[in-house]
Structures are given as structure tokens and as C-alpha cells.
């Protein structure tokens, strides 16, 4: 039976996120870097230790993870999307598959592996943000046979044993040069380093990280966005995007740096998981729909704005008519700006 070409084939681990909601009074946030006057730096979620800390609720969200979120985002926007991943031969794995099917994501490339559990993560949800306790099981990764190359491969988070798998993906991209690669590295991919993954960096069409991740990848504490963008660009990607939370996002194409503000919140953020995934996947989806990089840059923050109004990374993902509705009613300042001119406006 003939199957049409996939627009986006997402590759990465899938999981169930369990959101454990902690009341404001039962924890606190401390930011050592901020006390030193630094604009960026880590913060700490602090709980009484040792103690019994109450929680308000627990909510499970299945079929999630960077790549799974990207596939759902693409499908929601009307693209043909599928996910390459592995689950355990357990009820949680089937729950993930069922959830993806309900979101119109192709599941034909999902491998069910015996004698191993499906990933299950715990998100300590405090105020509008969270700290996620992750445990990526080391599956037997394998690239499935693809009868027809997809238009895009969207690669993100995999477990620490996945280096050989990355080389298989790199080899596939060499043999299929029409396939464009979007790379949103996860924790273990960043730990692998730029030398081991040099081939993938060089074949990447679009590379997306947040500011702290860009510093980690480049092994620097410098927060100069220009330097970070140029440093990542020199690794090979054709377009580099760095997100910086409520401060906005930046794009570099080798010639210009653009700044994109966030889309105005329609209401106070409820839970921020998946905000970065929504931005990255919407940017790639817009390109797959024929939009220019600058048009895609205007699409991406809209889904981020919507996602933070819900629990988890997928419920708030918009369909195309809804996203275009927000775009039409956007304020005048909501547009990409050459970064140098943006800096002059702020000075």
C-alpha cells in the first residue's frame, strides 16, 4: 500500500511525565547567581530535608518527550508526522502509543522492546515551572527501514548509550541528502560533546537550544548572544536559534542576527513544560509548510505562549487556524527585528 511522504520524522525517546504539584508554602526558590548580580545562572528548588513534604496533586501526561512533542506539534499544524522511538512491553508503553495515535502521529516506527520498562519521569511542579527527574532507559536503538525519505528529520533527546545510533542517523543523512535535519539536543546529546557529534552538527539545517544550553555546549559562561550564536553556527548548522525564556529568542543565519519577542501572554502561565519544544517544533513545522525563516520565527512563540497555559507539553499546542488567528491579532511590536537595531532601541 502506498504511503505519502512524511513531512517530519521525529526521532527521540518518549516518556510519561508525572507532574507532582507542590504548594507555594512548601518550597522556595534560591538563585545564587542572581545574588551575585548575574543576569543568568542556575536556581535551586529547595525543600525541607529530611522531612515529609506534602503535595497538592499528581497528573500523568503520556506520550511526551522532546521528539514526541515535536511530532504532535507538527500533526496539530496539519503536517504528516511520525515518531521513531522505543517503549517497553508494558502498559505504560501502550498508553504512550495510544496517546500519539490520538494526536494523529504515525506510530508504525515505534519499537516495543521486551524486558525493559517504558520511560517514566517525575516533574516537581512549583509555581509555574518545574524540575524534572529523568531516567532514560538504555534501549536497543535502531533506525527502521524507511520506504521513502521524509522531508525533515527532527532529532532530540536520547539515552546515554545512543552514540552509535547517532552515527546511523548521520549515515542515513549522507545517503539521503534531500532530508533536512532539525537538531534540538537533549541532556545526554549535549554531554556527548561537539567533537563526537561533529558530523551531525555539520549536516544540521536548523539547530535550537536555550541560552544556558548554548553555554554548556560551547563550554563558556559568556552570555553574549552574538558570540553564542556565532559559536554554534561555526559547528555547521545553517540556522541557529537560541531561546531565552520570557526575554525572547534569537536567530542567526550566518549573515544577520534577529531578535523575536515573546507573544503576549493571554493569561498568567500555568505550567511551563514544553515551552521550548513548542517553539522549536513550530519553527520547523512552519518551514515544512513553506514559510520563510522570518515567518517561522513569528509563528514559534505563539505555540509557546499557548502551551504554558496547560499542564504538560502537548495540550496547549495549537492547530493552524488558531495559530494564524493569534498572528493576525498580534501587536505591532511582535515581529523579528535585526538584533543590532533592537539593542539601540533598548539603550
Over the stretch 315-331, which tens digit does the pLDDT of each residue have?
999 999 999 999 999 99
The answer to the question of residue 29 being in a domain is no
The answer to the question of residue 304 being in a domain is yes
Contacts of 121 (CB under 8 A, 6+ apart): 15, 16, 17, 18, 132, 133, 134, 135
The answer to the question of residue 212 being in a domain is yes
Is pLDDT above 60 for 346?
Answer: no
Here the cell at position 80 is: 504528516
Is the CA virtual torsion 275, 309, 48, 25 positive or negative?
positive
Rounded to whole angstroms, what are the CA distances from 277 to 45, 90, 142, 171, 285? 22, 26, 24, 26, 12
* Rounded average pLDDT over 93-122: 97
Q: Which residue has the cell 561555526?
A: 234
Per-residue pLDDT band at 78 (split at 50, 70, 90): very high
Q: Which of 310, 304, 257, 256 has its CA nearest to residue 280? A: 304
Q: What is the mean pLDDT of the chain?
A: 94
Residue 317 contacts residue 78 (beta carbons within 8 Å): no
Confidence (pLDDT) at 182: 98
The answer to the question of residue 33 being in a domain is no
Confidence (pLDDT) at 32: 81
Query: DSSP per residue over 33-101, as a string?
Result: HHHTT-SS---EEE--SSS----SEEEEEEEESHHHHHHHHHHHTT--EEEEEEEESSHHHHHHHHHHH
> Among 74-78, 96-100, 244-248, 340-344, which stretch is predicted with the lowest mean pLDDT?
340-344
The number of distinct structural domains making up the chain is 1
Confidence (pLDDT) at 347: 42
Confidence (pLDDT) at 345: 46
The answer to the question of residue 71 being in a domain is yes
Highest mean pLDDT among 42-56, 94-108, 135-149: 94-108
The answer to the question of residue 268 being in a domain is yes
pLDDT in tens, 247-259: 999 999 999 999 9
The answer to the question of residue 129 being in a domain is no
Confidence (pLDDT) at 272: 86
Is pLDDT above 60 for 341?
Answer: no
The answer to the question of residue 32 being in a domain is no
pLDDT in tens, 129-174: 889 999 999 999 999 999 899 999 999 999 999 999 999 999 999 9
Per-residue pLDDT band at 6 (split at 50, 70, 90): very high
Is pLDDT above 90 for 340?
Answer: no
Per-residue pLDDT band at 2 (split at 50, 70, 90): low
Confidence (pLDDT) at 325: 98
Residue 313 DSSP one-character state: S
Per the structure, the complete domain to which residue 262 belongs is given by 8-14+63-119+136-346
Is pLDDT above 80 for 263?
Answer: yes
- Here the CATH number for the domain that contains residue 325 is 3.40.1190.20
Per-residue pLDDT band at 34 (split at 50, 70, 90): low
Amino acid at each position: 500500500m502506498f504511503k505519502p511522504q512524511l513531512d517530519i520524522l521525529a526521532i527521540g525517546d518518549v516518556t510519561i511525565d508525572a507532574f507532582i504539584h507542590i504548594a507555594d508554602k512548601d518550597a522556595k526558590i534560591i538563585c545564587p547567581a542572581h545574588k551575585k548580580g548575574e543576569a543568568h545562572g542556575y536556581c535551586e528548588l529547595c525543600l525541607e530535608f529530611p522531612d515529609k513534604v506534602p503535595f497538592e496533586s499528581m497528573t500523568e501526561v503520556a506520550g511526551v518527550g522532546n521528539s514526541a512533542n515535536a511530532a504532535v506539534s507538527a500533526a496539530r499544524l496539519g503536517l504528516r508526522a511520525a515518531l521513531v522511538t522505543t517503549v517497553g512491553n508494558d502498559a505504560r508503553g501502550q498508553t504512550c502509543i495510544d496517546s500519539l495515535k490520538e494526536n494523529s502521529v504515525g506510530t508504525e516506527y515505534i519499537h516495543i522492546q521486551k524486558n525493559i520498562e517504558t520511560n517514566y519521569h517525575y516533574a516537581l511542579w512549583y509555581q509555574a515551572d518545574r524540575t524534572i527527574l529523568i531516567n532514560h532507559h538504555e534501549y536497543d536503538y535502531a533506525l527502521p527501514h524507511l520506504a521513502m525519505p521524509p522531508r525533515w528529520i527532527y532529532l532530540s533527546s536520547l539515552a546515554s548509550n545512543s552514540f552509535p545510533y547517532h552515527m546511523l542517523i548521520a549515515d542515513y543523512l549522507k545517503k539521503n541528502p534531500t532530508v533536512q535535519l532539525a537538531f534540538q539536543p537533549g541532556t545526554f546529546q549535549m554531554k556527548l560533546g561537539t567533537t563526537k557529534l561533529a558530523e551531525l552538527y555539520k549536516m544540521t539545517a536548523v539547530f535550537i537550544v536555550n541560552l544556558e544550553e548554548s553555554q554548556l555546549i560551547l563550554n563558556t559562561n559568556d552570555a553574549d548572544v552574538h558570540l553564542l550564536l556565532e559559536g554554534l553556527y561555526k559547528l555547521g548548522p545553517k540556522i541557529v536559534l537560541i531561546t531565552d525564556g520570557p526575554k525572547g529568542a534569537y536567530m542567526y543565519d550566518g549573515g544577520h542576527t534577529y531578535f523575536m519577542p515573546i507573544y503576549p501572554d493571554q493569561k498568567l502561565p500555568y505550567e511551563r513544560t514544553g515551552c521550548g519544544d513548542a517553539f522549536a517544533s513550530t519553527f520547523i513545522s512552519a518551514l515544512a509548510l513553506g514559510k520563510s525563516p522570518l515567518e517561522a520565527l513569528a509563528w514559534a512563540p505563539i505555540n509557546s505562549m499557548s502551551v504554558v497555559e496547560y499542564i504538560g507539553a502537548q495540550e496547549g499546542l495549537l492547530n493552524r487556524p488558531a495559530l494564524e488567528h493569534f498572528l493576525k491579532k498580534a501587536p505591532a511590536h511582535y515581529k523579528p527585528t535585526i538584533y543590532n537595531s533592537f539593542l539601540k532601541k533598548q539603550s
